[in-house]
Structure 1
């Protein structure tokens, strides 16, 4: 089969690799019907995630069709249409028993495209299949479901829930990329008073406005002044960091009010300064986190009911089976200022009618 293989920082190749097969009783093999690219994949290619070794197939998000299952799999069968989550869960360890699947001690957590071969391929082996994939209703499209593999649960759990967004809050989202926009979308579930989006790209700020942000702060504008004007100088109730660079984390710490929450969602590849000399007296709560995906069933139900429209994130579409499809998708996703890309989707061609 074809797969996207990591060959070290800055090097990747769409190439032939062996087909995956069931290796453990809890495994399923899934034919990938739709797959996307995550900002974390770009961090890997920059060398920010040294645990990913050369030779690894990248990717941790997919929608597909089960083609084989191990003897220990009891809830899936060949032909099932499923969402492959970015997080795998053994279902038995201390963390899994409390819903903290991202911290799984039994061989799960974020492993696809990280510690084991991932989803940017024609087929993928999914460990712990019973507890790591979700069967999909016919009413939810592949593209909508694909956004539930990572960005929606990540934004909702690590940004909105960790940030303790409440009705009437002023919420600042620093970074209007896919994750930041997903924070905007899911923060609206809690009816905040204001959602402020901060970004350097006008196209992404416009996307934030469409998804529910009512205040936009662009290049050259003063985010602190904008927040102060909304809050009588108090500061934001919740500041969500959705970029992953020191400057944006430190900006969030400056924007939050005493007693407020800073929820870091971005993937950081360099240290950021924590100004405790300023924060120690302000009762500020700072949270970090890897998504656990405990919210995926709830989000899926909201999508099926028409309460959320995650297809709005998809801006570019490519053919998974085209020779240059993966390269073109990466080129578009890696240069959003030029391409306007939010989320890209690579889809398998539909089978010909009999």
Structure 2
């Protein structure tokens, strides 16, 4: 089969690799039908995730059809259409029993495209398949479902829930990539009074407005003054960092009011300065997190019932064999206007 293989920092190839096989009784093999690229994949290619070894098949977001299952898999059978979660879960360790699957001690967590081969391929092996997949109903399309492999639960759990968004809050989200845009969608579930989007790119700020942000501002246009003018000089209740660079994290810490919450979602490859000299007396809460995907089932239900609309998230579509071009488009959003890309089997 063919797969997108990481060949070292800055290098990748769509190339022939061996077909995946069942290695553990809890495994399933899927034919990949729809797959996408994550900002984390770009971080890997940039050398920010050194645990990823050359030769690794990338990718952790896919919808596929089950073609084989291990002897211990009880909830799946060949022909089932499933969402492959970005997080794998053994289901037995102390963290899994608290639904903190991202911290799994039994061989799970974020492993696809990271510690084991991922799903940017024609076929993929899914460890712990019963707990790491979600069967899909005909009401949910492949393209919509793949948005719930990572970005929707990540923005919801690590951004909205960690940030404690409440009705009437003023919420600012820095970074209007797919995660930031998904954070707008999932913040709206809690009826904040204002959602402010911050990004450098006009196309992404326009997308933010379409998805529900009522204010869109560039970093150079003094977002702090904009937010203070809306909040009686106080600042935002919640600031979400959705980029993964020091400057945006530090910006978030300046935009919140006393008692505010900073929810860091972005994947950071460099140190950021924590200005405790300014923050220590302001009752500020800062959270970090890797998604656990405990919310995926509920989000899928809301998607199927029409309560979540992810139809504007995918801007570019490619056949599966055009992975290199898809990466070029996704990695250059200023020129391409790309949000999420979708690659599908012909």
Q: Is TM-score (shorter-chain normalized) higher than 0.5? A: yes
- How far has the Cα of 1:303 moved from its partner? 0.3
2:273 and 2:64 mapped to 1: Cα distance?
42
1:107 aligns with 2:107: yes
Secondary structure of 1:94's partner? coil
Match of 1:194 in 2: 194
Q: How does 1:1-354 map to 2 (within 5 A)?
A: 1-218=1-218, 220-320=220-320, 322=321, 325-349=322-346
Q: CA deviation at 1:312?
A: 1.6
TM-superposed deviation, 1:218: 1.9
Partner Cα distance (2:245, 2:199) in 1: 13
Cα distance in 2, alignment partners of residues 221 and 300 from structure 1: 37
TM-score, scaled to structure 1 = 0.97
Q: Distance in 2 between matches of 1:233 and 1:17?
A: 58
Q: Secondary structure at the match of 1:239?
A: strand
> How many Å separate the matches in 2 of 1:107 and 1:273?
33
Paired residue for 1:352?
none
> Conserved in 2, the CA contact under 8 Å of 1:6 and 1:56?
yes
Once the two structures are TM-superposed, the CA of residue 219 in structure 1 deviates from its matched residue by 5.0
Q: Once the two structures are superposed, what CA deviation does each residue of 1:250-276 show, in whole Å capped at 9, x if it has no partner? A: 000000111110000000010000000
* Rounded Cα–Cα distance in structure 2 between residues aligned with 1:185 and 1:118: 27
> For 2:229, what is the secondary structure of its paired residue?
helix
**RMSD over aligned Cα atoms:** 0.5
Misfit runs of 4+, over 6 Å: none
DSSP-derived class of the 1:139 partner? coil
Whether the aligned pair in 2 keeps the contact of 1:201 and 1:219 (CA below 8 Å) is: no
CA deviations over 1:4-52 (Å, ceiling 9, x no partner): 1101000101000000011100000000000000000000000000000
Q: CA deviation at 1:309?
A: 1.3
Distance 2:99 2:213 in 1: 30
Q: Show structure 2 runs of 5+ residues with no match.
A: none
How far the C-alpha of 1:311 sits from its partner, in A, is 2.5
Q: Deviations over 1:197-232 (max 9, x none)?
A: 000000000000000000111253110000101100
